[in-house]
Structure 1
């Protein structure tokens, strides 16, 4: 069934391609014959403008010739309104061919004339077209200003067609900038107006735009349905240029479904039409898409050639969005052939333009590619930065709520449309019933009159005959209507069967996609597990703790597979260097930062001989800022590390401490059976990273005893929500807990900390990585 419908669809395309040219040529020939017979100047100008308008979608060069002839005659005869219309029409033809500079010039001249003769419809139309020009050039603020000017005039003059045009164009800008909810609401409003006006071309425009929006939300089946609706309508109104847009879009959807051969066929059909119209922007877009498809097929040389062709055309017509797209595509080409420096150069060029135009979708994708390139290049700090930017942009764009909103509003429109059709059918049935009752009354009156007056009866019978004839005609009409409804029911039945088959196909596709997602998730999970093994390998083994401390515990509970919290330990001569730290974020971003922290601590302590704890943190901060290219600007991300760092000098029986936010807690037994004392050495209120203070870290020194117990920790335990009122655990409760359990051995203390945590959290989610280190400074040696 599906193969047969595809066959008919291809036949339909071939037939429509033939009929476009035939019907357009017949209409043009008729107008040209009328033009030859006419000598009145104003009528000749109007006929030339009609021919120009009819040819704009089939023969742009010939349309320009008639437009210029009409303009010259209008100038000679001082027909100002016709002169403005001619200028506008010529501007539209240049808009179709992608010559935005000329199009802008002609439209501005037309606008001046329309303003001088106070022609509201012309002023609105020019504003709308100028908005389209600036939209194509990527000057979105100017575009919206002109669209809003057009909207205000159309609303005031009740020009529904113009109002719908401007509303549709504003929706297009919302779509480009990723504001999908606002875009779909505007599209549905435009669709209602177009349905009311019975404007097939306008309805097709909306279906094409909604299809593009479905496409960006990865609703490919819905996109294809909307594109096919647009395709049929464009064929009916014989708009070949707009048909090429739909062919291009269908090609893209097929490429996402990995039907590459069919996708190329649609792309080349679209390219041929666009080249015929000299529609440069369309040619550039399709050329770029063909290049992307060749790159997927690993025909990289062909892909690169198409990318360069596309870039040259976009530069020629000064289309900033297009230039950005082409730079991005070339960047992906260099990434695939492992030329990372060139890839980054092109991604940066694409990013500058995308940021200028606020193309959020493109910015997100560029960040993702830059992160991947830097990771492949082993520049992990930069890879980490761009991965954060990508995640921030992704969260603000694509989500299931947007996708559901689009489908919900479109279904609501279809439902309202169906309800109106049912109401209309009910009204027709009521009228038919009323007619039948009237007929019965007339017959009764005739019979009653016949009993009384034979003469009147003869007259009435004659009259009844005529009425009956009329009723028979009405009955025939009703019968035809019933037959027509039966045909509709049959069509609905076929459509239901088609939808059922489509649903089965969608289920199969969904199953395939679920398998693919599961496969990709497994790959991602394997990669994260591998990263976890790398991270664990870099952390000090617990055997080292057993060797250096007589009693200790390590309570390490990451939120995800990999952690942003880490601990570090190194013994040099009589000194033990020890750190417990919390990197920005958790999961993969936090793990990136933890690897940098461990690496830099090894480097600082290795190079340093006689250096205190505060100076070590100063050096660590400098290395981290240099690695992340941080200069302290307000606009930069505040990536960094919170840390508690100690140097234990056993020979001097003292401990040095320096901290970035995180403290050191010491519990010291009281003399003469007095209560134990809790000593807190607080860290400086600044991180290892960018901070507005940027002062040196404070080095604190305290003498220690053999019974002292030391605790280093991150904020994960303290920030956990729980208890009967869902509050955070906080530092004061934690200190009290340490005093209660300090008399137990370190392993017993760990068990009690874990039990208190689980009882506190209950069924709530763990919100952060947790790391606590407890130890006594005495060793087993």
Structure 2
């Protein structure tokens, strides 16, 4: 029977060798197939089971040869075959990582996968491979490289909407920060993973993130918070029926109770964890829990039970060759002897502990040296790759320079030939050109004199226009009222007035009489000189209507002003007629009754109240705030959708009245502030942002609020030009 088995193995081996030879011919002739790759994989795993590592290396190298060919000949292989090859290399990575612990080889094959994924531009595969790179570097302790690849994977995952892979990557980043002792950064990344997992309702991922959060909170001595996350993990793993994960969660809960000094509760959780570990046949976890139970029984003064569990743990740790747990058992047994007064036993176990510790230290040092050697080889290989790239670039540069020199020589000769022909032609025309040149020189002299005269005329006109505009500015400033009237009659106030040009189409005006103050802010059609003429016309008519004719009610003032504007501009409402006019908010405040009347033509009125979330109008209508900041509420009194000009709708303006409270702030304004373009995207500020600026600055005085508004406007505008005139009036009752 042995001879027959040997013959069968020999036949299989010869058959395989012949297939390999055939496959090698295919590769060299650039005609390989999926079956070739599968054959190499089968051979690699055949020798893996036989523990023939050299042969495993050989067949994985054969797959590597195929990869190198594809990278060099990008356009000769179809995408599905490259995807198949990338997945095949996962087997090589797993073998070198888990069986051989050769991270130099792991990174070598990961690099090949990365190049293949770049050839076909598959972001999902690039995200997966970069994350695997991060895991590899994390295992060997090169955390900076691990973070680099994790962040690449994170960016790629989000770019394709793969938030679950991003969440697993966040956990990898969090693990590194935890190992670095940067608990706040670890918490942040675990929390990001936890939030994504919760949103996606992925129980396994939620549990993993919860365990990470519990571990960090445990390190920060927030044991109760840690317990809540461990408990959440336990409940999720129960639903998933994951025995191993349930054992881990119970083990963590038990450890938290030990930290709190609740040893009876810790014992209960460890015993439950032991049951689930046995169901999962997780011997390492069983050993760890037996040792932890021994420690808990020592703390409960149940020395007999402690001895039973610690001896079981010690035997199992030797059986599974876990020297770290064996060390913990020897240390606990020494402690147990000391607690029982058996100092001989305590000394013996302590002596064995020290001997084993020295041995483990030597092994750890050997592993550390091996890891450093792996890092060194990886770094050297990267340097070699970079050196080869530089040599290739140098050769290509030299060839390019030689081609350039040949081109320059040939091109130079051709250019010289053309220049010679050109100079000959130019020589023939030169004499004729000199004659024309003399005539043209005289014409140019005459033109220059004319241009100089026109320039002087333009400068004179510009100077006259500038002087006229400056005079118009002085006129406009002369008709605008003095702010001291507001300061005298109100608790506090400000006027923010920023013309776009020297003169403004926006204006403000007020009048005080017999315990009442009338205030308005208006926005005329246009800006600059045309707008200024409209604003002076508006102020003139307001004086006539209010001061001369004693019309004080806001809605009637607006109606009379509209009639005057229509009359003086001779507006008929015909098609194509210029739509000149103004938008306005006008208020009348009775200082004795503490009441406010308002009329508006397109421009609304804002009221900001402190600790009051409603405003009741005369007639019983209750207004709700449209914005809020801390204890400040902003109410909007809407205007009629009609301008002070002829319009398709010529209804009477509405009168709105309500009672003011002490500390109320009243704001009137044009649209220039909210319509300003700026910010990082060059968009309009808009009214919502304007309201927020008013609310956030309501705590300070009106003068400080004005400065706050100016600063916010300039920050938003940045390098952009101001697009319109601005007026904002603020009054505090």
TM-score (norm 1): 0.37
Which structure's CA Rg is the greater one? 2
TM-score (norm 2): 0.39
Q: Higher relative contact order at CA 8 Å, sep ≥6: structure 1 or structure 2?
A: 1
